[in-house]
Structure 1
Amino acid sequence: MKWTRTIPILGWLFLMWGAWAAAQGRLPRSHAVRAALMIDAGLSIGAHAVQIPAAISAAQPLGHSRRRITLLTMVFGATWYRTLA
């Protein structure tokens, strides 16, 4: 795994923590933490979803299925499909 892929993984872990904390009623009252969660959600979900067509164009000719491309792009974003050989 390339080291740049750790950034999206950390983002997803932060979102999972936020979802868990909210479900437990333990989400910090800090506006900074809540803003960071909202920004992370927007980038992890929205920005990665927008990248799917470009990922399909880059990875499908290399033999990757659309399902695999979509999954890996949602998890890693451009750090996945831009590093394809």
Structure 2
Amino acid sequence: EMMLPNLNAPLYVDASGKLTADTVASFQSQAQLRVEQMAKDGELSDYSITINPDQDVLSTSTLSIDVKLVPVGVAREIKVNIGFSVQL
């Protein structure tokens, strides 16, 4: 959903056929907007977004963006150990 407006967007490549740094930065920035908001809202612990510039987008017309999300844990049970001691 977050990348849907970018469907059919141009993918600029350099002379060697690799995605240009500007193209990678643009798509990474756009992908980061939504995920960053999720992190700010406390829905994620952390995340990373990676775009490999060596993708063969000229042949495949497909841009692959790897997004890794670290979820927020849930304390379904809290265990507290209490005991007496002669010294600490």
TM over 0.5: no
More helix by share: 1
> Larger relative CO (CA 8 A, sep 6+): 1 or 2?
1
Q: Which has the larger radius of gyration?
A: 2
More strand by share: 2
- What's the TM-score, normalizing by structure 1? 0.28
- What's the TM-score, normalizing by structure 2? 0.28
